[in-house]
Each structure stands twice: as structure tokens, then as C-alpha cells.
Amino acid sequence: MSRYAAMFDRLAARGEGAFGAFLMLGDPDLDTSLGLLGAVIAAGADMIEVGIPFSDPVADGPVIQAAAQRSLAAGVRTADCFALIAKVRERNPHIPIGILTYANLVVARSRERFFDEAAAAGADSLLIADLPAFEAEPWAEAMRGAGLGPVLIAASNTPADTLVRIARLSQGYTYCVSRAGITGTHAEARFDPALVAALKAAGAPPPVFGFGISTPDHVRAALAAGAAGVICGSAIVDCAAGGGDVAALVRDLKQATGNDSAS
Amino acid sequence: MRLNGRFGRFGGAFVPEILMPAIEQLEAAFLDSEEDPAFRAELDELLANYAGRPTPLTRCRNLPGRIYLKREDLLHGGAHKTNQVLGQALLARRMGKTRLIAETGAGQHGVATAIVGALFGFDTVIYMGAKDVERQSLNVFRMQLMGATVVPVTGGAQGLKDAINEALRDWSASFATTHYLLGTAAGPHPFPLMVRQFQRIIGKEARAQILEREGRLPDTVMACVGGGSNAIGLFADFVVDEAVTLVGVEAAGKGLDGGDHGATLLRGRPGILHGAETYVLQDEDGQISDSWSVSAGLDYPAVGPEHAHLKDSGRARYVGATDAEALSAFRLLAEKEGILCAFESAHALAHALKRARDNPDEMILVGLSGRGDKDVAQAQALLGRPA
Ligand SMILES: Cc1ncc(COP(=O)(O)O)c(C=O)c1O
């Protein structure tokens, strides 16, 4: 069984949703980044999502843009990111690890090499922010061939036939965006139960909401909409960048994934 | 999506899923408009009576060789940009959008977008690198005079590439009311196709004009290539004429061997930027490099995907002209022909002059994509007072 499936099963048995924590690899440097990843896992993250920094992240808001810039300014390269993932994997044999990056970094290495290196480092899945379902078929096939789960994004405005395609191509989980726009904590999140239902009906892997999740109320609302979990990115990255207590934030948000967590 | 948006292996639509419905809506509106005589009639009327088409074809009297200039510098707005902003503005209105966003480098496309924003009453927002805002304060003021809001972009290198990033970010939240009026034949499908179709009027007119004047096709057709819109517009109707050599001129900046240039097709590698698979200036890992050119309009680390295809298929050739070569062509055109052209266009002319010196009988058609008013202050700083 895949690490994602095992995790979702285990949490479902306890009546909990999955809490995913996003961090940018190498932000602000490789050592600090390794420490932060350890901290969010120790604080209760069920899955982690790690960014490989790209110079031109068009799907990201200011917080994650700045994180990528810090990492690149520290001289972090793609190979360093894979090495960092391998270290996290060594210490955490069971936690699902997903990579989030942009298409140009993949083609620069060649798809096959990038996917092989990601899988060898111990990653379970890969989400390419600028790869819509329209283009994803050959990429998803190559990912599966390398033992990497393709994760695609679904939104409330995604047409029904595209949702079916997303369901067919995805493995591990399905990334649902809670609103239009880019990553970040400002705009109002909307957790669309119809989107979750449509994905489930199409046989998609468990839907997980991301984009703009920063409070326990967001977590509860996302799970109430039927999602199997949430991913919190900008709020964690922002907290870490400001020297805040990342572990406390993760504990707070993870707490809200239990079915006895009503406020 | 009705088409796959490919030019050979290049192109496609590599945008976040959230933007796909916006792109599909645009593709549908564009393809429908191509079948709609009323749309074409309104666009033709605007091109003729508002923008000033057809533009003249001028034979140079005093430059060496047989050089013809297609005079997009005489178009309203001062560059070829006006051709396609009129088309996209009509599409935006057709889709019921009330707001336009656009990126701009030197400000030429920003001014063009502000023009249609004023003409059709759109709420218009222009993203412009903070550095460019400072360097091009007159163009910023022009946009503001026509009612546009100019937003300085402080991310990245604060240039054209960063302005496109910011416009895409805006669009992914605002597409319900907003049309992204991309300024060149690059970006995700359907932009490269749509912008080419709106710009091909340049080559269509030029082909007819030169046939009438010379009774034959030119030997060579040349244009500068930034994102590639004026070049693809000039080339499009000549692509089938196998005997006509097509040459795109990229910014060789301070020289092709250093890192300071915008020669994407000559020095880049295939990659994916701003929604398209195309040639990209990048490092080994795929991080995008900063480009350089004395002309802001050629200072872009990617290029329209159709040029990538024309290069790989061998139908067009791509060469470079340095900052210095472009500046001396700019000056020569002013001195010998009484025409101040844009620095961008001067790159095409620089290469034409090289060819003309070696082959005085070669009939060369050069796309003079824009006028030089916007560059006069910079020219004064770079060239000093003419002797
Ligand atoms: C006068 C002029 N020519 C050429 C260009 C380059 O763009 P493209 O390659 O899309 O024609 C620009 C861009 O700003 C321009 O202003």
C-alpha cells in the first residue's frame, strides 16, 4: 500500500483528517530547512509537501515567492533539494512526502531523470504547479513509471470532464484549491463540497484542500466540506520566516483535524 | 480546448489549472470571432480609421542596397502593438470583461493597452517592473494620462519577465471580470496563435505592396524578435514563399558570448516559461536567467513558441545584433533617411545593413516595428550630441 493510502486509512480509522505542512526546501538555508521539516513532523504533520524553489513561481503569492528567493539566494540547487528529501525520508520512513515545483525545473533535467531522482530520494508524489490536466498525460505516465504519484490540481471552476481526467491521472491525493488566485493567506477561502463530491464520484484519490489555510476554522471548514485533509503553506512559511513558533502553529491546526474538535 | 496550441513540439498551455477555464473561454471567443464577419469588419474599420492602416512601405533612398521598410512606426501609438491590442480589446468586450491587465517593459505595450482601455472604457491596470517605471517615467505618465493605473512590480529583477509573472498572478484571481491582454506572440495557447493572427496584417500588406512596386517578392524579410509578435506578423504570409529567406534578429546585447543579451533562440535551451514550451534563457537547473538589451522590448528571456518551431524546422534563421550595432543603425537611419526608429527595430535594420553591404542587389524587407520617440532620451545619453 502507498504511504498516502496507509496514512488516510489510519486517520480515517481515528476519525481524523490529514494535516499536510508545506515548507520551501532550503529556506532560508539547508540546515535550517532540515530542522523545520523535523519540527513540523514532530508537531504532528501527517504528510509534508516540499517546494523545490523556482525563480519565477507564477502560482505563488508574496510569502512563498520570498521563500523561494531566500532558498535560491542561499545557493540551493535541485540536487540539494533531493538530498534534503533523502535525509527527511531516512528519519521518517512512513510519512508521505510530496514535491511541489514548476515545469521548467523538470524539463531542464529531463522528465525521466527528475522523476527518477525524486523517487530515489524517497518522495511519494509530485505536483507541478504549471502543469494542468490538459498537458499532464505524458508527464503523469512517466511519473507513474518512476514510482512517483502524479498530483493534479482541481478547482471549483474546473469543468466536469477535466475533473474526470484529473481523477484518472492522479495518485496519492487530489489537490483542491479553495479559491481562485495564488497561494497566500489573505483572500477568503471557500471549501466547495460540490468539488469534493464530484472528485469522489469520479474515483479521484482523496481530496485535500490547499491555498489560504491558516486557521483552525479553515481546517474544520475544509473537512466539513468532505475533504480528506488540508495542506497549510503560506501560514507556516510566514511563521518560520518571522521566527515564530512553527511547532505550536502545526499543533493548533492539526488539533482541528479531529472530529471532536468543534470550537 | 478546441486546438492543442502546438507549433511542432513547441507551445501548449502550461498554466495553473485554475486558469484553464479562462484560457478556454478566450480560445473559444477568438476562434468564433475569426468566423464572424461583423467582428472582422469592426476591427478593419478601427485599423483603418483609428490606427491608420495600411502603413506605408518605404524604399530607403540613401542607405546602401535595396532596403524597404514596413512602417509600423507610423501606426497610432507608435508601434505594431496597436494592431493586436485592438483585436484583443474587441474580444474582451465580446467576453463581457470590464477590466484589462497587461505587462509592459519599456511601456510600449502598456501605452497600447491604455489606448484601448480609454477607447472602450475598460478599467486598465498595467504591471511594470519597478526599475522600468523609474527609467520610463514619460511612458508611465502617458499611460496615466489615458486613465490606466500603473503598478510597479518589485519582485525578481523588476523587469518585463517579472511584470508577466505578476499579471498572471492577478489573472488567476480576477479572470471572471478581467482579460489579460498579453503583449506579444508568447505565453500559453491561444495567445501565440491569436497575436499572430492579429499581427499578420503587417506581412499581408507588405507582401501586396512590394509585389505592386517591384513585381516580385523580396529576397529576404527581416524583423527584430523580442517575444516575437512583429516578426511573426511580418513573416506569416511569407512562410509559404519558400524562396523568401526569413530572418529574425535577436538582441545580442553586449555580445553573445557573455551573459548580457536577450538572444533566446541563439543561446537558450528548450524549456517552459510563462505557459509555453519554447526556447528559454536559463541555467543548468532551469532557473530563468536575466536577459539584457539596450532596447527594453527585446529584453526577455523567452520567445514565442512559433519562432522556436520556425528555427528548429529551418524555415526561418535567427541572428543577433548587438547594442552597439543597433545604436549605429538607429543613428544612420536618422541621418540618411530622416526616420527615428525604435531601438528594437534598429536591431533588424542593423542586420539588414550588414547584408546590404555584402549583397547590394538583394531586395530586403525590414519590419520597422516602432518609432523612436520613446528612445530619444536614452539615445542622447548613449550617443551624446551628434557631431
Ligand atoms: C517597437 C517595438 N518593436 C519590437 C518589440 C518587441 O516585441 P515583439 O518581438 O513582440 O515584436 C517591441 C516591444 O516592446 C517594441 O516596442
Q: Per-residue pLDDT for chain B (387 aa), expressed as one digit of tens each?
A: 999 999 999 999 999 999 999 999 999 999 999 999 999 999 999 999 999 999 999 999 999 999 999 999 999 999 999 999 999 999 999 999 999 999 999 899 999 999 999 999 999 999 999 988 987 888 999 999 999 999 999 988 888 999 999 999 999 999 999 999 999 999 999 999 999 999 999 999 999 999 999 999 999 999 999 999 999 999 999 999 999 999 999 999 999 999 999 999 999 999 999 999 999 999 999 999 999 999 989 999 999 999 999 999 999 999 999 999 999 999 999 999 999 999 999 999 999 999 999 999 999 999 999 999 999 989 999 988 655
Model pTM above 0.95: yes
Sheet strands (E) in chain A: 18-24, 47-51, 97-101, 125-128, 149-151, 153-154, 174-177, 207-210, 229-232
| Residue-level pLDDT at A263 | 43
What is the distance between the alpha carbons of residues A11 and A47, in angstroms, rounded to a whole number?
11
Task: Give the helix/strand (H/E) hosting B58.
Answer: strand B57-59
Neighbours of B269 (CB within 10 A): 14
Q: What is the ipTM of this complex?
A: 0.96
B190 Cβ inside 6 Å of ligand 1? no
Query: Number of C-alpha atoms within 13 angstroms, CB side, residue B200?
Result: 11
Q: What is the pLDDT of residues B34-70, one digit of tens each?
A: 999 999 999 999 999 999 999 999 999 999 999 999 9
CB A170 within 8 A of CB A156: no
At B155 the pLDDT is 82
Place of cell 508577466: B164
Phi, psi dihedrals of residue A91, rounded to the nearest 5°:
-80, -20
Q: What would the pLDDT profile of B103-137 be if each residue is shown by its tens digit?
A: 999 899 999 999 999 999 999 999 999 988 987 88
Q: Which residue has the cell 496615466?
A: B144
- Location of C-alpha cell 498572471: B168
Q: Is B347 a catalytic residue?
A: no
Minimum-distance CB partner of B16 among A59, A105, A179 = A59
Are B194 and B29 a contacting pair, CB within 8 Å? no
Q: Which of A60, A117, A124, A192 is catalytic?
A: A60
Residue B157, chain A, CB below 8 Å: the answer is no
> How many Å lie between the alpha carbon of B9 and the closest alpha carbon of chain A?
13
Phi/psi for B222 (5° steps) reads -130, 140
Q: Maximum Cα–Cα distance for chain B, whole Å?
A: 58
> Which residue in B32, B374, B44, B365 sits closest to B230, CA to CA?
B365
Judge contact between B286 and A104, C-beta under 8 A: yes
pLDDT beneath 50: ranges in chain A: 262-263
Secondary structure of chain B: what % helix, strand, coil (to 5)?
50, 20, 30
Q: Using the Cα atoms of residue B55, residue B59, residue B62 and residue B67 in order, give the sign of their dihedral.
A: positive
Rg (C-alpha) for chain B, rounded Å, is: 19
* Cell representation of residue A247: 511547532
The rounded distance, in Å, linking the Cα atoms of A181 and B176 is 11
For the Cβ of B226 lying below 6 angstroms from any atom of ligand 1, the answer is: yes
Instruction: Give CA–CA dist A146/B372, Å, rounded.
Output: 54
Nearest-CB residue to B18 (from A72, A104, A180):
A180
Is B372 in a helix, a strand, or coil? coil
- Residue B237 region by backbone torsions, left for phi larger than 0, else alpha for psi between -120 and 50, else beta: alpha
Neighbours of B284 (CB within 10 A): 10
What does the alpha-carbon distance between residue B328 and residue B349 come to, in Å, rounded to a whole number?
Answer: 10
Looking at residue A261, its pLDDT comes to: 54
Asked about B109 being catalytic, the answer comes back as no
**Complete domains list, chain A, with CATH:** 3-254 (3.20.20.70)
* End-to-end Cα, chain A, rounded Å: 35
User: Strand B10-11 vs strand B6-7: parallel, antiparallel, or unpaired?
Assistant: antiparallel
Which site among A101, A130, A165 would you substitute to test the B interface, given the most B Cβ atoms closer than 10 Å to its Cβ? A130
> A-chain residues within 8 Å CB-CB of B20?
132-134, 158, 162
List the strands of the sheet with B123-129, edge to edge.
Answer: B149-153, B123-129, B99-104, B178-180
Integer Cα distance of B329 and B346 in angstroms: 6
Q: Quote the Cα angle for B35-B196-A138, to 5°.
A: 90
B273 by DSSP, 3-state: which? strand
CB-CB contact of A7 with A47 (8 Å): yes
- Report the nearest atom of ligand 1 relative to the CA of B72: 1
Would you list the DSSP string of B136-200?
A: THHHHHHHHHTT-EEEEE-STTSSHHHHHHHHHHHHHHHTTTEEE---SS-SSTTHHHHHHHHHT
Within an 8 Å CB–CB cutoff, is residue B280 touching chain A? yes
| Distance of alpha carbon B259 from alpha carbon B268, whole angstroms | 11
- Grouping H, G, I as helix, E, B as strand and the rest as coil, residue B127 is strand
Measuring CA to CA, how many Å separate B195 from each of B30, B83, B234, B273?
Answer: 10, 9, 12, 18
Give the residue carrying C-alpha cell 471549483: A156
Cβ of residue B117 lying under 6 Å from some atom of ligand 1: no
Which residues share a beta bridge with B251? Answer: B321
Q: Using the mean position of ligand 1's atoms as its centre, give its distance from the Cα of residue B186 in Å.
A: 12
**Which helix (H) or strand (E) element contains residue B322?**
strand B316-322
Can you tell me the distance from the alpha carbon of A139 to that of B85, in angstroms, rounded to the nearest whole number? 35
**If you count them, how many residues does chain A have?**
263
The kind and range of the H/E element at A121 are helix A111-121
**Contact: B173, A180; criterion CB under 8 Å:** yes
